[in-house]
Structure 1
Amino acid sequence: MNTLQELDTELFLYLNNLGSVPWDGLWLGITNKWYSIPVYVLLLLLIIKNLGLKKTGLVLVLVALLITCTDQLANVFKHGFERPRPCQLDVLRQQARFIAVRCGRYGYFSAHAASSMALAIFIGVLLRKKLRYLLPLLILWACTIGYSRIYVGVHYPGDVLTGMLIGGLLGYLFYLLCGLVSAKLKLNENHLK
């Protein structure tokens, strides 16, 4: 386990130190969840246009449950593993760049990475037949958010990768759930089967 933590720390230091002051503002913006509101509005418009209002209502309920699920699961992991964030460790303060506004207590796994990847997979797979390009774009968006957590100094790469994997899995499970609920409510069309 120590070898994995050492590798995670080395990779964190490498990726974190790729940053520079001129780019800090951009990455602080990307890591701020409120800066993603335009993406959410665009996704909402695409969902309404491609699925209609009734299905959009179902999707919105499932998105709320999905984000709640990823956040709560991340909290369970954080308090279960109690792994300090890199910004909490004095030994790393001399070697890394910490530009985050605040540093939470525990970091394993990243709720930001999990939530963004869960949303990317859920919406991207849901709309993939009508908007083929959307899934790769959303995955890129989620990966960018994940990297931002390393850049600002609040997560190790392992925290981010675990969050993305769990988020991706939950996103796909919620896509399957959407298909089941749509069929039960007779809202099903080919793209939900």
Structure 2
Amino acid sequence: MIESLQQFDVELFLKIHRGLANPFFDWLLPLMRNRFFWAPLYLFIIVFSFIEYKKKGWYIIGMLLVTFAIGDLVSSRIIKPTVARVRPCNEITLANDIIHRVPCGSGYSFPSAHATNHFAIAVFLIFVFYDRWKLILPIGLFWAFIISFSQIYVGVHYPIDTMAGAILGMLIGLLTSKIYKKLQPQL
């Protein structure tokens, strides 16, 4: 069962990584996974929170940082070393199939910390801002999805890595948003 799941994962990875290859994706998707590309969005969220929510904005940003910290801790420090799955770009059996679009990195692959962190942040922000801004739902989920998909396309994660990271991130975002909602009346 595990071997057939891994084989499916590799085949799907190659269909995305090689099968969807085109100059536009080669330009766009490495940008989508770059944290510096998203810096203006992160700055906007901080400024928006402070302007719109005043003192409560500090709490929103604090909980957002807690959400990120939990996601990163659980995915990168606990699960990745335990599972120790080699990244596809470092997998010897895939050496002839990999298109090097970004540096591979030496860390492990499962789960994708990018997917975990961005889905956690997206779900947290959806729960915080949805009452006032309904578009946060599709925009937040698309944002997290495109970053996660980019991880597969550039060759640093398998599809199951990003799916597991997305599920983990959504659970973390749900947890921290529940904590936020529970403590919110006290502010």
Residue type of the alignment partner of 1:89: E
Give the structure 2 partner of residue 11 of structure 1: 12
Superposed CA RMSD: 1.4
Give the structure 2 partner of residue 131 of structure 1: 133
Q: TM-score with structure 1 length normalisation?
A: 0.90
Pair 1:159-2:122 in alignment: no
- The SS at the match of 1:35 is coil
Q: TM-score with structure 2 length normalisation?
A: 0.93
Moved more, 90-99 or 105-114: 90-99
Post-superposition CA distance 1:47-78 (Å, at most 9, x none): 3344x121111111111111111111112111
Post-superposition CA distance 1:119-172 (Å, at most 9, x none): 111011211010001121010000000011001100000000000111011001
Give the structure 2 partner of residue 190 of structure 1: none
Pair 1:59-2:60 in alignment: yes
Residue type of the alignment partner of 2:70: C
The runs of 5 or more residues in structure 1 that have no matched partner are 188-193
Residue type of the alignment partner of 2:54: L
Q: How does 1:108-147 map to 2 (within 5 A)?
A: 108-147=110-149
Give the structure 1 partner of residue 104 of structure 2: 102
Pair 1:70-2:74 in alignment: no
Q: What CA distance in whole angstroms lies between the structure 2 residues aligned with 1:128 and 1:154? A: 32
Moved more, 110-119 or 174-183: 174-183
Residue type of the alignment partner of 1:181: L
CA contact (8 A) 2:90 2:104 kept: no
Q: What CA distance in whole angstroms lies between the structure 1 residues aligned with 2:127 and 2:66? A: 17
Residue type of the alignment partner of 2:118: S
Post-superposition shift, 1:25?
2.6
Identity over the aligned pairs, expressed in percent?
A: 28
The runs of 5 or more residues in structure 2 that have no matched partner are none
CA contact (8 A) 1:74 1:110 kept: yes
CA contact (8 A) 1:104 1:154 kept: no
Q: What CA distance in whole angstroms lies between the structure 1 residues aligned with 2:98 and 2:22? A: 11
